[in-house]
Amino acid sequence: MQVKLLEITFGIYLFSLLIFRAQAFTKNRSLFKAASIILKSGFILHTLMISLRWYEAKRPPFANMFEALVLFAWSIILVYIIFDFLYNAKFLAIPVNILILVIMFFVLPLESTIKPLMPALQSRWISIHVVTYFIGYGALSIAFFTSLVYLLLLKKNPADSSSLLYLDRLSYQLIFFGFPFLTVGMTTGSTWANVAWGNYWSWDPKETCSLITWLVYVLYLHLRVLRGWKDKRAAYLSVIGFLTTLFTFVGVNFILPGLHSYS
Amino acid sequence: MYLVKLKENKIWKFIGSIRVALVLFLVIILVSFIGALVPEEFQANIYYSWWFFLLLILFALNLFICSLQRLFFLPKKWSSTITHLSVLVILLGSMISFFFGQRGTIEFVEGQTQDSFISKAGLKPLNFKVLLEDFNLEWYAPDNFKVRVYVKDKGVKRSYQAIPGKEYKIKGTDYVFCVLRYLPDFKMEEERKIISNSKQPNNPAILINIKSPSGKEERWLFAKHPMVSRGADENIKFIFDGEPVIKEFRSTVRFSDGEKQELKTIKVNSPVRFKGYTFYQTGFDAERLNWTALEVVRDPGVGVVFVGFILLNAGIILVYLQKVKRNREKTQVGLCR
């Protein structure tokens, strides 16, 4: 049932992208509004799908690659909706829509049967740890994108300073928004590790990599605020930060088997 | 007066400077990264070495001076100061853990009593006794089992999460099947009597009932022997994916110290405390089900670290909210100013 719902959600996201594209050609403002509403209704359905899976599985649905990626796509749209509301970040609509479609495209063929949780994952910490991390990841992914656009624009049209300034500030706001979520995710993970194994920090590769990711963004925020890194250096650091995030999320799982390997 | 002196002291200023902080950040990132790449047995040579310790001390010193400066010269940015101090609290807690914490394992079989645990430094006595009364291992079964079906003449391939007792109509065919029985450890005794040899999934098997217009039959399916599962109707084939998953394992232990006795159940994710020691359920052996391993920890640093965590989260969230508020006051559109 919930997998069907996910397929429908995918269809709706595809539809909203089509309308967004149509709007780009016709420059019709009401079309953009319509596409936005479609995207948001897709998000509501997406939320419903996660809730339904939660209900069906009788546990938080954040335990394997299928569930992780469904949540990842969800987090990206959530961050987009928040930022569109706060900062009117309309130009992100199409890239975000494409990004989630790509993620969903990889998700749909994955093994989607509900598998029971192994003992170590049966904990009330799982929801806050995973959800905060993914909202953080969502913000940092979009920041990665805006930083890349910044770097591309800088190469192609360095005279467009107002766009560059906007992109740079938007990347900063996204990282600044994502960082508290990363922090809550990391500290709840550590607290949980202490409940499960009696050790809040054991330097396993996943822990170490999450700390490195966190430190890279600490570095970004400090360099920006205290050293005035508000140009391409900040954009490069945002790119590096996202690559470490990606490595922490996916890369480590290939090196070490264990709790965090979403197989 | 003293503060002004502190502000002017070049060495202090240097140690507490952002430049040193940034260099230390980079070094810690690099060292951590190298540590993540080396094999596990060498990691202790990095993360618990004297020079990494020195690096963290330097970092703590830098942070401490920086926080002092903020506290006195930037009192308005108190949320950011809380954040910086919280990292110091976490570092302090981890130092306490490192120097005063004890950890090790207890291994025993049912009925056995232990009064010590094995730590890296050797056997450490406990001032009480622990008796393992019972160890219990449970599996998820059979609700997570999958049955794959292949119907030859229709070329239909399907897969079902088959709940026992429920009938499944195989779409595109006239077949209906239902799981009747599940045995974790199938055994056929004399006179073809079928029993489960144990509760452990050593030979998981299900009995299914297949109905079609041409007749009815029952068939045993074995997770470990898919080729055995053949029936009268050659047109339909079933495969039982019965990969067992552990649901829970728990130890029931009796603590006693002469005066009082306590009976407790230790499960994964729900440790038990007795006289300052915390016991965590960690190990089991599928070949030897009366045996278990517990992690024993006495760590006075944990509380300090957790206070640090709370301060860190609160601090960072406050910094964010204050910044957002300030931006909103300054301009209508936060971004494009």
Each residue's pLDDT tens digit, B14-23: 888 888 888 9
pLDDT tens-digit series, residues A17-54: 999 988 888 878 888 889 999 999 999 999 999 999 99
What are the domain boundaries of chain A? 1-110, 120-263
* B254-275 confidence digits (pLDDT tens): 999 988 899 999 999 999 999 9
CB spacing of A209 vs B36 below 8 angstroms: yes
Sequence-ordered list of residues with C-beta below 8 angstroms from that of B39, at least 6 positions apart, any chain: none
The pLDDT value recorded for residue B336 is 37
> Could you give the CA distance from residue A165 to residue A230 in angstroms, rounded to a whole number?
9
The share of chain B scoring above pLDDT 70, in percent, equals 94
Looking at this protein, which amino acid is placed at residue B70? Answer: R
Q: Say whether B278 and A198 touch across the interface (CB within 8 A).
A: yes
* Residue ranges of domains in chain B: 2-101+302-330, 106-138+247-298, 142-243
Q: Establish if A86 touches chain B: CB-CB under 8 angstroms.
A: yes
- Chain A contact for B31, CB < 8 A? no
Which of B43, B146, B278 comes nearest A203 by C-beta? B43
pTM of the model: 0.88
What is the rounded distance in angstroms from the CA atom of residue B4 to the CA atom of residue B9?
A: 9
Angle between helical axes of A161-197 and B302-330 (0-180°, round to 10): 160
CA distance to partner chain B, nearest, from residue A17 (Å): 26
Chain A nearest-CA distance from B160, in A, is 9
Residue A200: list chain B partners with CB under 8 A.
97, 302, 305
* Residue B247 in tokens: 């649901």
Query: Does residue A239 belong to the interface with chain B, where contact is any CB pair within 8 Å?
Result: no
Query: Would you place residue B334 in the very low, low, confident or very high pLDDT band (cuts 50, 70, 90)?
Result: very low
Query: DSSP assignment, residue B226?
Result: G
Nearest CA in chain A to B142: A116
**A33 in reach of chain B (CB within 8 A):** no
Does residue A162 register a pLDDT over 80? yes
Q: What is the mean pLDDT of residues B164-193?
A: 86
Q: Do B295 and A209 make contact, defined as CB atoms within 8 angstroms?
A: no
ipTM comes to 0.92
Of A87, A116, A216, the CB nearest to B245: A116
Q: Is B143 on the interface with A (CB under 8 A)?
A: yes
Whether the predicted pLDDT of B2 surpasses 80: no
Average pLDDT of the segment spanning B280-294: 90
pLDDT in tens, B161-174: 778 888 888 888 88
Cβ B151 vs Cβ B127: under 8 Å: no
Confidence category of residue A255, pLDDT binned at 50, 70, 90: low
Q: Test A196 with B334 for CB contact under 8 angstroms.
A: no
Residue A262: CB atoms within 10 Å: 16
pLDDT at A258 over 60: no
The distance from CA A136 to its chain's CA centroid, rounded to whole angstroms, is: 6
